[in-house]
Amino acid sequence: MRSARIKAEGAGYYHCLSRIIERRMILQDAEKERLLTLMRNLAAFGGLEVLAYAYMTNHFHLLTYVPERRDVSDKELLKRLRYIHTAREVDMIDKQLKDYRLQKDEAGAEMFKKRFTYRMYDISEFMKAFKQQFSQYYNTRENRCGPLWEQRFKSILVEGSEDALLTIAAYIDLNPVRAGMVADPKDYRYTSYGAALGGSKEARHGLCRLMQSALGGGSLPWGKAQPEYRQRLYVQGRQKGLDPEGRPIRQGFAPEEVEKVVAAGGRLPMHEVLRCRVRYFSDGLALGSQAFVDGVFTRYRGQFGAKRRTGARPMRYGEWLSLCTLRDLRLSPVAPS
């Protein structure tokens, strides 16, 4: 029996990851556009905010903020339903809800609303609908059947601190750089940063909200958020120059160099470790300061062995700004991409 997913009490930030079955490279431009549309519509319906994302050829990453659950008025419910239902379906729901109100059946009206509202403000419901709806679209188009995604999605509960949020966001937006697809994250259109620089208002809003959250709140316009966030991507450390074939040279260790440093227990600087594959960001369960992770451990104490006394585990092989995770990964937590 699989263990319960680690979640916040109330509002929380989550880094979610899911892969295509057998890691098939099926996510091309049309599929990524479909995923983006589904993501925006389902997030709007559920009251979630996607702060950073990356859609690759066989997997995706999302950094999502889930607010604390609250009551939703009839008017707001109908507005949100328009993101996931046709106008005709929403009109029918509107009529049924009004019938309950006219009959003074408030209990019936609230029960009817719960058929829709239980899916709001919940990362599991969001991801379930997101993956299912894309599977239905892809399988119908390709005349195939069977599962499309590899196992259940992975999620990490992330502390809402500057260090934790910006480290995860930078890791997500650097995915195409790690994969060797582009030299600069701005040149890949299916990440939050690349889309924001391409003019996407939704992507810009997400990164502005990310910077506001990480830097302690307050309104932050895109013109100020963009250069600050770019610095956090560590692209300023990129080596200048061209290779013999005229392609940009990126600063970074060769795979064998990374393996040598990690094997010796050495620590990689942040701008280098973020270009590696970091399992802490998919398998660490919770990520943040020692106090934050210890608090999560206390709430979920029953999921861990009786001999375990403490929750926070320091992250190894990199300069992690005192970040910790809930799970200690003993097998290659950091490796070349």
Average pLDDT, the chain: 89
Instruction: List the chain domain ranges.
Output: 12-69+126-335, 74-117
Could you read off the pLDDT of 181-219 as tens digits, one per residue? 988 889 999 999 999 999 999 999 999 999 888 877 777
Name the pLDDT band for 334 (thresholds 50, 70, 90).
Answer: confident
Contact yes or no for 160/211 (Cβ under 8 A): no
Q: What's the confidence (pLDDT) of residue 319?
A: 86
| Domain at 12-69+126-335, CATH homologous superfamily | Transposase IS200-like (3.30.70.1290)
Q: What's the confidence (pLDDT) of residue 70?
A: 95
**Residue carrying the six token digits 């992330």:** 158
Distance from C-alpha of 48 to C-alpha of 69, rounded to nearest angstrom: 10
Mean pLDDT score, 220-241: 75
Q: What percentage of residues in the chain have a pLDDT greater than 70?
A: 90
Could you read off the pLDDT of 105-141 as tens digits, one per residue? 999 999 999 999 999 999 999 999 999 999 999 999 9
Contact yes or no for 1/40 (Cβ under 8 A): no
Is pLDDT above 70 for 230?
yes
Q: What's the confidence (pLDDT) of residue 330?
A: 79
* C-alpha to C-alpha distances, 309 to 40, 52, 187, 284, nearest whole angstrom: 41, 34, 46, 17
